[in-house]
Amino acid sequence: MKRLFSILAIAGIMAFGTVNANAYTVKATTTVATTFQNVDEEPAEEASFTQVVKDRFIEGGPFFMGIVLLCLILGLAIAIERIIYLNLATTNTKKLTQNVEDALQSGGIDAAKEVCRNTKGPVASIFYQGLDRANEDIDAAEKAVVAYGGVQMGQLEKNVSWISLFIALAPMLGFMGTVLGMIEAFDKIEAAGDMNPSLVAGGIKIALLTTVFGLIVAIILQIFYNYIIAKIDSIVNDMEDASITLMDLLVRHKK
């Protein structure tokens, strides 16, 4: 529930910022146009990259552009939440293993469990589950480590599939907007009975903008997705290595 609230909060902040930016852009454009309406024309300054992107986005139409923007906001919200969670879940495995080994030698299983209890992260949780079954036998401890490792892996990968969905959805929505725009352009040609380029050029241009922004959203989210997957793989490798090390420690402790 807390993660869902965090995702919705991040998405709301990003959406609010985007709406305010677009509103400010429209207001500033209107003010400038009114001020210089009756003044001699002067050479216009070259627009910045962000301003061009905003203008193109508004020009692309509210419906499909809005859906593509929603995919970006939700995808980034989930990606940021996952990145924060994964960074907090990262543990210094070597230091934890050394502390557990020292605790086993000095205070036994209970002392080692206390070390794991005071350490955050999936590796410490797996260590705790293995140590909790250590009084039974090594096989029970190993089964507990494997089972709880699968649970922790599921926690690491939680909501990541939604990012991949938005990566696929954004360009498809863009393509759909382009196809519908092309159909509308050909309807105009059919109604006019004449192949006049100026009649359909504007409509085709606007239709293609949805594809461009859909691809941009997919590229941005793909970068975050690859980073998250690499981070998850790194943590999982640490979990597997730490699990083997824990079993070795328990075998030595039994002796």
Asked if the structure places residue 154 within a domain, the reply is yes
Per-residue pLDDT at 219 = 95
Residue 89 confidence (pLDDT) = 86
- Global pTM? 0.72
Provide the residue range defining the domain that includes 99. 1-33+46-255
CA gap 132, 109 in Å, rounded:
8
pLDDT digits (tens), the chain, 255 positions: 445 545 555 555 555 454 454 444 434 444 434 433 443 444 445 667 566 666 666 666 677 788 888 999 999 999 999 999 999 888 888 888 888 888 888 888 888 888 888 888 888 888 888 888 877 778 888 888 888 888 888 889 888 999 999 999 988 988 887 787 777 777 777 777 766 676 666 667 777 888 888 899 999 999 999 999 999 999 999 888 888 888 888 877 766
- What per-residue confidence (pLDDT) applies to 29? 41
| 144 in any annotated domain | yes
In a domain, 83, yes or no: yes
38 domain-assigned: no
Give residue 106's pLDDT.
85
Residue 40 lies in a domain: no
In a domain, 41, yes or no: no
Quick check: is 253 in a domain?
yes
Among 111, 120, 116, 113, smallest CA distance to 88 is for: 120
How many domains would you assign to the chain? 1
- Domain-located, residue 124: yes
